[in-house]
Amino acid sequence: MSNEIMKKLPEDVIIYTLLRFSVKSLLRFKFISKCWYTLIQSSRFKNIHINGTTTTNNEFIIFSRSFKETEGFKNVLSINSSNDHNDLVLLDLDLPYLNFTRGFNELVGPCNGLIVLTDNDVIVLFNPATRNYMSLPPSPFVCQKGFHRSFKGGIGFGFDSIGNDYKFVRISEVFLDAYWGPEKQEKKVEVYDLCIDSWRDVNADMDQQFPSVFSYPSFEILHHGIFHWYAKRDRIYVILCFDISTEIFHIMNMPDSCNVFDGKCYSLTVLNRLLTLICYPNSNNDLNQHTMDIWIMMEYNIHHSWTKMYIIKPFPIEFPLTTWRDHLLLLQSKSGLLISYDLNSNQVKEFDLHAYPKSLRVIVFKESLISIPKRGP
């Protein structure tokens, strides 16, 4: 399409046409002409692109997995490059951070096509579609002598629609080295603002006692502009919520049957755009004694709207990973393989993708043109 034709066509028609192409193609189109470059780089086009309807053609999967080596773990980041719904073709991504660590990497997101990769020490913001990334600066916080800092929960990440900025939130506990009792600990909450490239403290006060946060595989997610963690308060399992825009915490209760005595573990995901809680058997217990139950919150933050939608017969898994195409549940088996469970047909499929047990992390995302700023040296 020449510049002359572009000038004659309404901009909305051009945008509608360009939205049919992949991000990879759009990045190439930017170099056709100055007009194309300006349009594709514009905030308007990027926002229309990311807010467009998600289809099976623009939905992708990214995997983080680990392999045991002598001194630690080799971590591999891969993306599914196949359009075949029944198979995976993995393309390994070269990211110069977190390739070798003492533990497993965590994936957080997505938010507008952006994903966070972290081992709690290093935090990397990454756009899988454009391959742009940046490493966040370390927090300036330093424990006083005689104190120890522990990161129980993972990194929260989301977009502040009021401040028009991306934020990261991290919850930690500061203990006195000599004694790890609850009266000797302090909750610390830090927020990183991408637009000013800086960390700051946030008040962690709540109307009631601030809960203890725990890192559960595939629990920490962003939904409705609110980030969610697995937490425990007064021997009760709860969901700790943080509004990315208002920076206010609140508690969301799980279904009444979910408690410390049910022998279950928990995973949080989104199914058909609704917050979904997966209660699955603890691998240390007799799997034949427990089913996998899937609860869906039909109205967000309305406790009585929790509805048990699926009861799945037990089979040997480590934990659920995510949902895909609104009917496939992706899980890691006890042997480390990726498997899927079809909620419609009850069929189980095993994929040729292996990882060290409990190390596999998966995120389904939509391609995005959102830029990631470059930090100075």
For residue range 218-272, what is the model confidence (pLDDT) as tens digits? 889 999 999 999 998 888 889 999 999 999 999 999 998 887 667 788 999 999 9
Q: Which secondary-structure segment (H or E) carries 102?
A: none
Distance CA(187)–CA(82), nearest Å, equals 44
DSSP secondary structure letters along 165-214? EEEEEEEEEEEETTB--GGGEEEEEEEEETTTTEEEEE----SSPPPEEE
Sequence-distant (≥ 6) Cβ neighbours of residue 149 within 8 angstroms = 141, 143, 172, 173, 174, 175, 188
Whether 96 shows a pLDDT value over 60: the answer reads yes
40: confidence class by pLDDT, cuts 50, 70, 90: confident
Q: State how beta strands 198-202 and 264-271 pair.
A: unpaired
Residue 156, CA distances (Å) to 27, 32, 93, 201 in order: 29, 38, 23, 14
Confidence band of 54 (pLDDT split at 50, 70, 90): low
Instruction: Evaluate if residue 99 carries a pLDDT over 90.
Output: no
Q: Are 76 and 64 in contact (CB under 8 A)?
A: yes
Most confident of 34-43, 245-254, 259-268, 314-323: 245-254
Q: Are 127 and 113 in contact (CB under 8 A)?
A: yes
Ordered domains of the chain (ranges, CATH): 1-51 (no CATH), 59-366 (2.120.10.80)
| 308 has pLDDT over 60 | yes
